[in-house]
Amino acid sequence: MRWLLASLCLSVVGLSQASVLSPGEEQRIVDKILVVKSERKLMLLSRGQPLKSYKVSLGKRPTGPKRREGDQRTPEGLYWIDWRKASDKYNLSMHISYPNIRDQAQARAEGVPPGGMIMLHGTPLDENYPEWYFHGLDWTEGCIAMRNDDIREVWSLVKDGTLIEIRP
């Protein structure tokens, strides 16, 4: 009987601690990345609430959505972070699932290749050009670039499978 009572008490204590911890932890889970191209801003969201924001750089031709391979534009629409890798050239990189079905249909209708390999990544590791040189400059081929400290933080907070919305 004592074991049963002790077990019951431990269960109640365990449940009360879990319920205290769970809401706070759930609020901190990044469930969406929002990029607003016109503001050069990336926000990490949890349940629609911003947790953190970062300044980003875009493709060399930042206005308008990506239409084809080589247009140097950053896509607009809904995508997923679907895989990641360490990059010799750009520190860490997270792949954005461009092109989506809409992008593929648009490119097919125009008879052009949609392109691909759009990444969220850091800045070049280059002795000739320090990191500050790239900050505030739209310099990518269509990717979204961040400072290396920022991409390391985003890498640790965002899981593969996270939705990324890129707005004009």
Domain ranges for the chain, please list them.
30-164
| 9 included as an active-site residue | no
Catalytic residue, candidates 9, 95, 121, 135: 121
The CA angle 28-34-104, to the nearest 5 degrees, is 130
**Helical H segments across the chain, by residue range:** 2-27, 101-110, 131-134, 148-157
How many C-alpha atoms does 50 have within 13 Å on its Cβ side? 9
DSSP-H helix ranges across 28-144: 101-110, 131-134
Mean pLDDT by 10 residues, the chain (168 residues): 41 34 58 98 97 97 94 98 89 96 96 96 87 89 96 97 98
> What is the per-residue pLDDT for 22?
42
Contact (CB, 8 A) for 143 and 121: yes
CATH of domain 30-164: 2.40.440.10
Q: Give the span between the Cα atoms of 77 and 82, in whole angstroms.
A: 15
Question: Is 143 an active-site residue?
Answer: yes
pTM for the whole structure: 0.81
